[in-house]
Amino acid sequence: MKELVVPFRGERYAETDRLSRLIAPPYDVIDPAARARFAALDEHNIVHLMLPEAPSAADRYAWAGEALAAWRRSGVLVRDAEPAVYVMAQGARLGVFVALAAEGYEPRRVRPHEKTHAGPKADRLALLRATRTNLESIFLLAPDPDGALEQALAKTAGRPPDATAELDGVDIRLWRITGEEAFRLTAHGARRPLYIADGHHRYETACAYANENPAADRMLAFVASARDPGLVVLPTHRLIHGTGRRVDAVMPAWRSGLFDVAPVPVAVDPVAYLRELGRDRTACLVASPDGDVLGLALKPDARLDAFPDLGASPAVRALDVARVETLVVRPLLRADASTPTLGYTADARAALASAEQGASTAVLLNPTRVEQVFAVADAGDVMPPKSTYFAPKVPSGVVLRPSEG
């Protein structure tokens, strides 16, 4: 079996002094307003390729492929002469861009924790066919129990960087590593299975493309150590938009055997309160449009076996997000006489403000732990949608990888 991760000949922007104007977050967190903002920064910003907007008569995917070819001809993008890995510090978090085998999940060397959907994969596959290039990476976590990868990356980060940038207030530093040192870094990163943090759709798309085109048997991936102190996992809070007074309707069920329920004390920071409330059990906050903010803590003797839809595996059934989704969010949705809609945000303050302004009932959660992500993936199960938010997102455009080389 071939090596899971290897160095590769990356393709990068030639003018590194304006890299901040050329990179962007991943495609799936860019709304139309953000796309317009990044596109206006520079005619060569990566969003022009990864979220192409072609003239009305043109195929936008084909347009992206033609634009990429033009950028190469004019020297906007330049390919490195020899294989390398690319270490990136993004704020306090360190990781390394590598070429990952696009082999699917069956060998169990790459493990998912999310369910994917056909629409995004069809979109990304059409773009990959047209550009034949990995325009952005997926994000993987290496278990790294002895800290070898963490230590090797920290050693690299002690040198002056080859390029710097800034994206959404986060400083970025990049080091290009070649030769034996590059192979040592890839060896550290692939001693055990790797776990997808972000990019399930992109990974499955690359694997589908590899089935069509055996020369495209690898894809761009960013690997970080699970021990990295800069690794941040945020919860994704739920916003229920509707008209009904849902909390009043479901309160009796919550109190009768499921949760200890109490108002968040006045003058106490709600986010800190939630963190403490959930220190040793599942907890959440429910903020109503009428101004009430309640803390819900699962009772130690709660009969969760009465809820088979919590999840198939013990690993999923133990997740705060699965329990809160089943016991709190779904009952709130069902209690609304109107047709409510469900929104998401990783910003706890924004969630509380939405409720305070009367725009929604907000349900705030504590974050899922990395070891829980691993446990679900090891069990071959999937988490509820929007269970994790790894921050900051890995930027697109720092390095690209032609998919057939």
Q: Is the pLDDT of residue 338 over 80?
A: no
Q: Is the pLDDT of residue 245 over 70?
A: no
Q: Is the pLDDT of residue 337 over 80?
A: no
- 1 three-class SS: coil
**Mean pLDDT value of segment 219-231:** 97
Backbone angles phi, psi at 159, to 5 degrees: -95, 165
Both 151 and 105 in a single domain? yes
Both 333 and 394 in a single domain? no
Both 109 and 28 in a single domain? yes
Q: What is the pLDDT of residues 140-186, one digit of tens each?
A: 999 999 999 999 999 999 999 999 999 999 999 999 999 999 999 99
Residue 381 lies in a domain: no
Residue 122 lies in a domain: yes
Both 107 and 188 in a single domain? yes
Q: Is the pLDDT of residue 55 over 90?
A: no
Q: Of 198-212, 242-256, 257-271, 292-306, which gets the smallest average pLDDT? A: 242-256
**Mean pLDDT value of segment 29-38:** 97
**Mean pLDDT value of segment 15-34:** 96
Which pLDDT band, with edges at 50, 70 and 90, does 237 fall under? very high
Residue 383 lies in a domain: no
Both 48 and 149 in a single domain? yes
How far is it, in rounded angstroms, from Cα 360 to Cα 242?
Answer: 7
Query: Which residue segment(s) compose the domain that 151 sits in?
Result: 5-232+390-402
Q: 98: domain CATH number? A: 3.90.1530.10
Both 245 and 154 in a single domain? no
Q: What is the pLDDT of residues 90-127, one digit of tens each?
A: 999 999 999 999 999 999 999 999 999 999 999 999 99
Q: What is the pLDDT of residues 274-314, one digit of tens each?
A: 999 999 999 999 999 888 999 999 999 999 988 998 988 99
Q: Is the pLDDT of residue 217 over 80?
A: yes
How far is it, in rounded angstroms, from Cα 61 to Cα 225?
Answer: 34
Both 209 and 240 in a single domain? no
Both 201 and 249 in a single domain? no
Q: Judge if the upstream peptide bond of residue 308 is cis by omega within 30 degrees of 0.
A: no
Q: pLDDT > 90: what percent of the chain?
A: 88
Residue 384 lies in a domain: no
Predicted pLDDT of residue 191? 87
Q: pLDDT > 70: what percent of the chain?
A: 99
How many distinct structural domains can be found in the chain?
Answer: 2
Both 243 and 106 in a single domain? no
Both 53 and 128 in a single domain? yes
Q: Is the pLDDT of residue 243 over 80?
A: no
Residue 142 lies in a domain: yes
Residue 382 lies in a domain: no
Mean residue pLDDT of the chain comes to 95
